[in-house]
Structures are given as structure tokens and as C-alpha cells.
Structure 1
Amino acid sequence: MRRLALPLAALLLISACGTADDPGGTSTKDGVTTVKLQLQWFYQAQFAGYIAAVEKGFYTEQGLKVELLEGGVDIVPQTVLAQGRADYAVAWVPKALASREQGAQITDVGQFFARSGSYQVSFANKGINSPGDLKGKKVGNWGFGNEFELFAGMTKAGLDPGKDVTLVQQQFDMQALLRGDIDAAQAMSYNEYAQLLEATNPATGKLYTPADFTVIDWNKVGTAMLQDAVWASTERLKDKSYQDTTVKFLAGTIKGWAFCRDNAEACRDLVVAKGSKLGASHQLWQMNETSKLIWPSTKGIGLVDEADWQRTVDLSMSTKNQDGKTVLTKKPDGTAYTNEYVQKALDQAKSAGVDVQGAGFTPKQVTLNAGGA
């Protein structure tokens, strides 16, 4: 989830992993097709829908055997996909589009997160309530493409990320903010923000509360970009067998996310059992917050909304980083995304009685324990 860089030299070596007998690249035996999905971070409830689809047999129902490839700091999902080492990958849209512009032949076939989960968080006494308030402050960010919404928000507020703030490379936790080393920290609603609420306030001896912080939500600011999507090989989508596998994979994934929407505790347990290093209360929080990014889905889970896509592209072409460079230099071509396969998967899921819109979804009230235990 955390890396953007995709060396052009690596892209020149990209090849589809198909063969003359199996142009789709997947392996089928006894009617079961093996599929590899590259995740963008370590096992956690951010990926609960895929984990549930494996563990509850939703992919098996589709004739698939899905292997989940755990992500990490040095793993770039769209690169793994483009180099043929996975059949599908989960990646943020602007990062994947940047890789695409460098030559990665990948296509967004399922936009499962409809909303952004990115925050910029500060202690309430810092008085940072909007992007404009970041001027003159020490602003933490992870880099590697995770900072695009932050830069877009500052640009909208009339700030130059290279001059008007002090940018600080932030670790993948909230310790720099808690220590007072930075004034504002990057956080995901489903992960790092919870880490703050799991920490003890030395002034009270109790856990921090939301009132102790201010949150800049890029969805409200208007600079949110599309995040977790399922990407497929553009070249392999020319093959009928890979097209069929894609529909089956998306149908199983849709059922997985619907299951987790309706069974948050069960999916928390599946993620914990998968080996996540995060605690049970943290994972339930994450499951709840992740569901908020998906549901309700008015048109159906996984469909790319044209307005959201265009906003992401426009921001990627207009927002400059501290060096004056933009994420994209040109608009992506028409193969950058397609709703063809996810629509077929939605039709199949609806005919099987799966609620693909989640209009009645109501978030839970989750109590976090110290350290997320």
C-alpha cells in the first residue's frame, strides 16, 4: 500500500505469464483455476473481503482456488501484476495510473473502495482544522504516493507544499505525532487513526478520545482520490478464459465484502486467524471503517464511478509535489478501467440473492482497547 516507485527498467521486462496452451496465464486442473491476488499491505481487515471469500468458500463456488499474496513495505502490487507474478492486484488508483503511464499494462476492473480513507490528524490544541492551517507547520506524510491527497488539499488552500510547510518523512505509525515531533500526521481512518485512540494520554492516564484531535478528511475537503481497486492485466483481458476468470473472481469478492458488511465480528476473527499482528478490537474498528468506504454502494459495489475517476485523474494531473512534479503528465487511455466484468459479476451476485448495494448498512460503535487488543 505504501510504495509508488516503479522503475522503468523493470517495466521493460514485463511479460504476461501465459503459455501457448494457457494464454490466460492461470492454471486449471480438474475444473479448478488457481489465481494469485497481490495485496498492498500486510494482512488486516482492509482486505477482509478477500480473506472471507477464501475462507468461506466463495471463490471455491466460482471454481477458483485463490492464493493471497501478502504485501509489505517493499512490495508494489501493480508491479507484481505487471510482471506476471500475480493474476490480480489491489492498489490505489493514482499510484497504479502513475505506473501505467510508465508502461505497466494494467486495468482497473473492480473499484471496491468508493471513498478515501486518508486523514491528516493533529492534536486539537494545535488549531489545525483545515488544509490552510498547515501553513508553517511540520507536516508528516508517508511518501511513496500516499501523500497525493495531502498535496492536493494544500494546493486547493493556496499553499505550496515545497515552500509553505515543513514536510517530514513519517514512519508507518503515529509515534511522531504523539511525541510532538510533528504538528500533523497522515493516518488512515481504519488503521493509524485508531492507533491514536488506543494510546494512553499521559495527562489523564486514560486512552485518548476523538475530542483530543482534529481530523482533516479529504472526502470533505474535495480532494479525495480513489483508493483500493482490483487491477487486472490489460493484455490478458484480450483472452476469453482470463475474462471469464475475472468475472468469477469479482463475483466471489463481491460476496466476500457483502459477508463482512453483515458479519463484522466473524470477519475480524478471520483476519486475526490469518496472522494479523494487530489486535482484535483494532481489527473490528478496521472492519467497521473499511465497510464505511464501500457501503452503501448506490449503483453496486465495485463499479467505477465516472465522476470519482475523473476527479482522481484531474487531481493527479494538476497537483504538484514539493519538487513541482505532477502524478500524471497526461490522461490515461480508455483501457485504464472497465466496468464490463464487474457488471457481469454484479448481475450474477444479484441473481444469487447477494445484496450488492448495502442500502441498509449501519456502522457499528466499536470500543477500542489499549494497544488495540
Structure 2
Amino acid sequence: MRRRLIGGALAGALMLAGCGTADDDSSSGSSSGGTTAVKLQLQWFVQAQFAGYIAAVDKGFYKEQGLDVQILEGGVDIVPQTVLAQGQADFAVSWVPKALASREQGAEITEIAQIFQRSGTYQVSFKDSNISSPAALKGKKVGNWGFGNEFELFAGMTKAGLDPGKDVTLVQQQFDMQALLRKDIDAAQAMSYNEYAQLLEAKNPATGQLYQPSDFTVLDWNTVGTAMLQDAIWANSSKLESDTAYQETAVKFLTGSLKGWAYCRDNAAECRDMVVKKGSKLGASHQLWQMNEVNKLVWPSPSGVGLLDEAAWKATVDLALTTKNQDGQTVITKQPAGTAYTNEYVQKAVDALKSSGTDVTGSSFKPETVTLKEGGA
């Protein structure tokens, strides 16, 4: 397993080796020069999905809180909530159903902020496949990434009365859209901010021009009614219960993070540039699309950015309890035990930002119109 570390005064990316273990000598939570060292584990590679945290480092928002934050890059073989539970990070970003499954298996973690208020997962097909509803997936070759990314897809099929193990042919999909473009599969999993853009950056051989949204049909789980909560910030449950210093650090970390997200809402192009500079392999137009689409998932946040809506939590838990995979297993088997989430710390962060003049709701947010270039250049 390999991770990359970015943040603080680091220019570029340093490779870290080991299963959830950084190869630097700093210890999480230690103080140096009046600052507290903090490690944040991402759930994927550096991209605009995590721009708020990158901006908080680059613009000094964490430093304002007395924190020296190092961002640990994720990857295919990294489970962020496990890294957190093992004590190799202080906080982690993870989708809620994945983290709930890990909690049921013994990971002592608690959600302390819900950054994405909406799901960004699509199931995309060519329009001529006539897959306009989950029910129309019956008998089709349906791509999905696995690794817990497929829960909303299975929930959509379950709601439509389909058995994922019998009524469709499930295909292990790579983390790109090539199988759909080759028409090896009928429907592909895509994030609104990433893989869907890859389709629109590809050239249509029939026209010689880039594909257009009108060439595809999108199943959006927010519309279908099987959306589950995605990017949330998780903390160590035991430390939240007993470590006053950790509790204070959590509030400071959230304050800096949320300020970063507010900054990226208002400065999308600049945040795109920060992400590209950090070494993302995705191009500039792709990253601006991603920044814009991610902002749509975060903003507006009527109650305050990062605050968890209890109805959305309940809906996610209910789906995790009832959605069956191809083997008939559910995401979790019982209601989450203990303190699975709390708004205590993020409310303090929101209050602090609001009192300092930061717009914490984004009620006037309007997304940009982004023009994609071939290959996302």
C-alpha cells in the first residue's frame, strides 16, 4: 500500500510506504513551535474532491487555528477509516455507508462533519440503450467499482424489485469509463465530478466532436431516492470521549476545513490551480469541472456547512440495513452502536466562522458553466 503526503510547507508529493503507516518521524497530535501536528487521511488520490482541505493548508486556515496539517493521499488499496481506527491518522474522509460497515466490524470511529450534503454517484448509459430507470437495468451488463462504491446502485435495483445477483450481469469496472465507451457494458458507475466528465472529454467517433450530455442517460440516485451520504469527516471515538486536547483539535480542524470549503466555493479556479499544483494527474479543465460539481454537493448547506442532517443519516442507515448485494448480504446488520455521529464539534466550528464573517450556508451559491477540453486538458 502506498500513500502520498501533502501539506504544510511540503512542495510536491512525498511517497509514504506501509499499510497505513507514514514513514516520517513526526507523531500525530504532537506540538512543535506552538502548533499541533494533525494528519488527515483522504479516501482517494489528490483531486478537487478534497480541494477544501488543500485550500485550508495553502491559504493558512489551519495555521490560523494553530495546526500543522498533513494530508495523506488515498488510493485503491487504502481504507481511510481503518487508517484512522489504527491510529495512523487523526481524522479521515470516508463515505458514510463504508464507515458504518467498518464500525460494525469494530472500528472505533465517529462522524464529526458531513461535508457533502448530496450524493455524487451516477449510473450512466448511452441513450440508445434505453436505460431510463433502475428497472431497465434488468438483463443488462452493469458495471460497478466494488469496494463499497456500489451500495446506491444495489439500493436502486432493490427498490426497483431487481435482484443484483440474478437479474443483471455485474461487471467489475475499472476506475474509468473505457468499458462503457467500448460498449463492453451497458451501464457504468460514475461520479458526477469525475468519471462523468471523462465521457464528455472523449471524442465521439461518429461526429469527430466531443460527446455531449444528450448522448447519455444518467441515473442520479438523489432523484431515484436511494442516495446515501458520502464524504464525511471521521474522528477517533475513544479520543472524543476522553481527550480534551483532541476535542479542541477537532473543533480547530473543522474550523479550518470548513473555511477552506467556503473559500473554494467562492474561488473555484484558484482552488483548481492548488489541486493541479499538488500533483493531480487530471487536467486543468477536468479539475475545474470537478471543483464546480463538488461545490454543488456541498452548497448550499442551509443549516451550516458540515452539519449532518439527521433525516439524511436515517435514510442512509435504513438503506444500509435493507440493501442486499449479489450474495444477499446487507451493508450492515444492525443499527450503529454507540456514538456514530455528533454535530457537537462542527456546530462550534460553524459558529466560530459565522461570527468571523464567513458565509457558512452558501445560500446564494450559483455553479459555474465549465467547458471541458478533450482529455480534460
Normalized against structure 1, the TM-score is what? 0.93
Does the alignment pair 1:158 with 2:161?
yes
> Whole-Å Cα distance in 2 between the matches of residues 286 and 96 of structure 1?
24
Equivalence for 2:115: 112
Equivalence for 2:140: 137
Amino acid at match of 2:153: L
Does the alignment pair 1:199 with 2:209?
no
Does the alignment pair 1:231 with 2:238?
no
Assess if the C-alpha contact under 8 Å between 2:28 and 2:89 holds in 1.
Answer: no
Residue segments in structure 2 that go unaligned for 5+ positions in a row: 1-19, 21-26
1:46 aligned residue (41, 44, 49): 49
- 1:123-146 deviation digits (Å, cap 9, x = unpaired): 000000110000000000000100
- 1:95-120 deviation digits (Å, cap 9, x = unpaired): 00000000000000010001000000
Amino acid at match of 2:101: A
Equivalence for 1:83: 86
Q: Give the Å deviation of 1:28.
A: 1.0
Does the alignment pair 1:258 with 2:266?
no
Assess if the C-alpha contact under 8 Å between 2:28 and 2:37 holds in 1.
Answer: no
Does the alignment pair 1:212 with 2:215?
yes
Does the alignment pair 1:125 with 2:110?
no
> Whole-Å Cα distance in 2 between the matches of residues 211 and 30 of structure 1?
56
> Whole-Å Cα distance in 2 between the matches of residues 63 and 327 of structure 1?
38
Q: Give the Å deviation of 1:30.
A: 2.6
2:248 aligned residue (244, 249, 273): 244
Amino acid at match of 2:259: K
Equivalence for 2:287: 283
Equivalence for 2:355: 351
Identity of aligned residues (%): 75
Residue segments in structure 1 that go unaligned for 5+ positions in a row: 1-13, 15-23
Amino acid at match of 2:76: V
Please identify, of 246-255 and 25-34, the stretch whose mean Cα deviation from structure 2 is larger.
25-34
> Whole-Å Cα distance in 2 between the matches of residues 29 and 48 of structure 1?
26
1:272 aligned residue (246, 271, 276): 276
The aligned length equals 351
SS in 1 for 2:124: strand
Alignment root-mean-square deviation, CA:
1.0
> Whole-Å Cα distance in 1 between the matches of residues 61 and 132 of structure 2?
43
Q: Give the Å deviation of 1:83.
A: 0.3
> Whole-Å Cα distance in 2 between the matches of residues 265 and 25 of structure 1?
32
Normalized against structure 2, the TM-score is what? 0.92
Please identify, of 160-169 and 329-338, the stretch whose mean Cα deviation from structure 2 is larger.
329-338
Assess if the C-alpha contact under 8 Å between 2:324 and 2:330 holds in 1.
Answer: yes
Q: Give the Å deviation of 1:31.
A: 1.7
> Whole-Å Cα distance in 1 between the matches of residues 338 and 261 of structure 2?
28
1:27 aligned residue (3, 26, 30): 30
Amino acid at match of 1:142: W
> Whole-Å Cα distance in 2 between the matches of residues 177 and 25 of structure 1?
43
